[in-house]
Structure 1
Amino acid sequence: MANPSVALALSFGLGLAPWMPGTFGALGAVLLYPAVMLLPWPAQLVLVLALLWLGCIACGRAAAVLGGEDPSAIVWDETVGMLITLVLTPATPLSWLVGFLAFRVLDINKPWLVGAAERHFRGGTGIMADDALAGLFAAGIVWALLALLHALTG
């Protein structure tokens, strides 16, 4: 991985997992988040936006090198998408678990705007956009379920 764009797009090797590389990419965010959560929340948002922007560039370049529109080894989109979920939800094991499951379901099934984003954009932006939206929607699901849990338990 001498090419920095490829290294980033593969989440520094996580995308080389022989099965479920997207899940490994999302797990990369779970490993990264304990360091990210040390930052003040506004800095976390700036960092996520910077990583999203870098991903648009790196994933587009890596796709050109690896061949194909969105090679399965490119998992930086999953890493950043899951990081979006983590930054926007409470830092609790329950939120992390629900967020991870919701993110993966949305990323795999690509409902509504998630799928539309993937179809509408091309290159690195297309690779990153659907996962960014999946991350936002997964965070919304976490908050909705937490509100429901609170309403049911008082």
Structure 2
Amino acid sequence: MTTIESGQNAYVPKPNARFMLSHPAHLIAQGFGSGLSPVMPGTVGTLLSWLSFNVLTSRWPDVFTPFAWSMIIIAGFLLGIWACRKTSTDLGIEDHGSLVWDEIIAFWVVLVFVMPADFKTQLWAFFWFRAIDMIKPMPIRQVEKRLKGGFGVMADDILAAFYTLLLFAIWENL
């Protein structure tokens, strides 16, 4: 892991592939490398989520059913609590930008409820999820500040997923 200077005498770790591969928790929390993107790692992690959901669901539709995805999401959320806590501890920073497992799991939540959908609808889901995740409207920002550890890392993105789904529900009823 290399470090970059951020401000006066403060160092922020910049994880690399060696760090990511040094522990299974890092590999998971950093989205199998998508979190190492130098530009918008959360967006890259969400793109991985979108791609993996579509590939797995179209390739094995009898296996990757909405029920199976729900079980995967629950297991992934619990796994994410551990992986994000461990990786945050090892990086020395709570919810480091390279942690994208929370985006992956949360966008799967969105897709389970939105699918089947055409590309345009999926694109809108992606756009609104990323916008809500970045803006963090109330109470997402408060949850992010109050909840710590792996659960805190995972929880704010799940709320962003629910906001996205609420937006879609309102949109459907207009």
Identity %: 32
Shift of 1:2: 2.6
Give the distance between the partners of 1:115 and 1:42, measured in 2 at CA: 30
Report Cα offsets for 1:71-100 as digits up to 9, x if no partner: 111111111111111111132123211111
Shift of 1:36: 4.4
Greater RCO (CA < 8 Å, at least 6 residues apart): 1
Contact 1:52 1:128 survives alignment (8 Å): yes
Contact 1:29 1:83 survives alignment (8 Å): yes
Instruction: Judging by fraction of residues, say which structure has more strand.
Output: 2
Shift of 1:42: 1.7
Give the distance between the partners of 1:143 and 1:32, measured in 2 at CA: 24
**AA in 1 matched with 2:173:** A
Pick from 86, 103, 107: which aligns with 2:111? 86
Instruction: Judging by fraction of residues, say which structure has more helix.
Output: 1
* Unaligned residue ranges in structure 2 (runs of 5+): 1-20
Higher-Rg structure is 2
**1:122 corresponds to which residue?**
148
1:46 aligns with 2:71: yes
**AA in 2 matched with 1:74:** L
Report Cα offsets for 1:36-92 as digits up to 9, x if no partner: 472222221111111111111100000111120111111111111111111111321
* Unaligned residue ranges in structure 1 (runs of 5+): 149-154
**2:136 corresponds to which residue?**
110
Give the distance between the partners of 1:118 and 1:27, measured in 2 at CA: 22
Pick from 160, 164, 168: which aligns with 1:138? 164
**1:151 corresponds to which residue?**
none
Give the distance between the partners of 2:130 and 2:45, measured in 1 at CA: 10
**1:26 corresponds to which residue?**
46
Supply the RMSD in Å over aligned alpha carbons: 1.4
Count the aligned residue pairs.
148
